[in-house]
Amino acid sequence: MRIVLASSNKHKVQEINDIVASLGLPFEFILPPADFDPEETGTTFEENSYIKAYEAWKLAKTWTLADDSGLCIDALNGKPGIYSARYAETPALRIERVLKELEGVENRDAHFTCAMTLINPEGNIEYKYQGICEGCIIKETRGTNGFGYDPIFLVKGDTRTMAELSEDEKNRVSHRSVALRHILEYLKNLV
């Protein structure tokens, strides 16, 4: 069964297909048509993931799945949240901004969230799920794997940051893989 992943990020499609393959499931995620260019105007991760999934459905008229994710920091009232990708100009500057905003702050609890929306060939929401990965923000960067805020995010129950985990290890605990596994479980029972 082929499902359009509402993202133009080839790396994301590959990451998701790797997780699917590791679970031995009969699904293949593919890129949306080239003119896929949604405007993320939602005020929540859930709304943005619906906007993306529906935009892809309008073009492909088949099963579509979208995700929207980001980092939420308790002491910053959930920021950067849906603004995670735009919190500053570059990934390094975004990390710098977060560390500055947390200077002198004791509660450094945070979580990554990933909202996924699955739309069926009729254009209706078939299933949705929000995956969460808990942790806290350390005071310096550690590790070189992953992307985004991974080097400052210490995974709960581990001594390492997300950027110190291997790709496989991250795929076992990440917000994206938690959400994806729920979506796949749903799809498995459907086909």
Amino acid at 162: M
Among 55, 68, 126, 164, binds ligand IMP (CB under 6 A): 68
Compute the least distance from the CB of residue 164 to ligand IMP, in Å. Answer: 13
Instruction: Decide: is 83 part of the binding site for ligand IMP (CB under 6 A).
Output: no
Rounded-to-integer distance, Cα 181 and Cα 63, Å: 17
146 binds ligand IMP, rule: CB under 6 A: yes
Evaluate whether 44 touches 76 at the Cβ level (below 8 Å).
no
Nearer to ligand IMP, 126 or 150 (CB): 150
Among 4, 57, 60, 69, which residue sits at the site for ligand IMP (rule: CB under 6 A)? 69
- Is 68 designated active site? yes
Residues near ligand IMP (CB under 6 A): 68-71, 84-85, 112, 146-150, 162, 174
The residues assigned a catalytic role are: 68
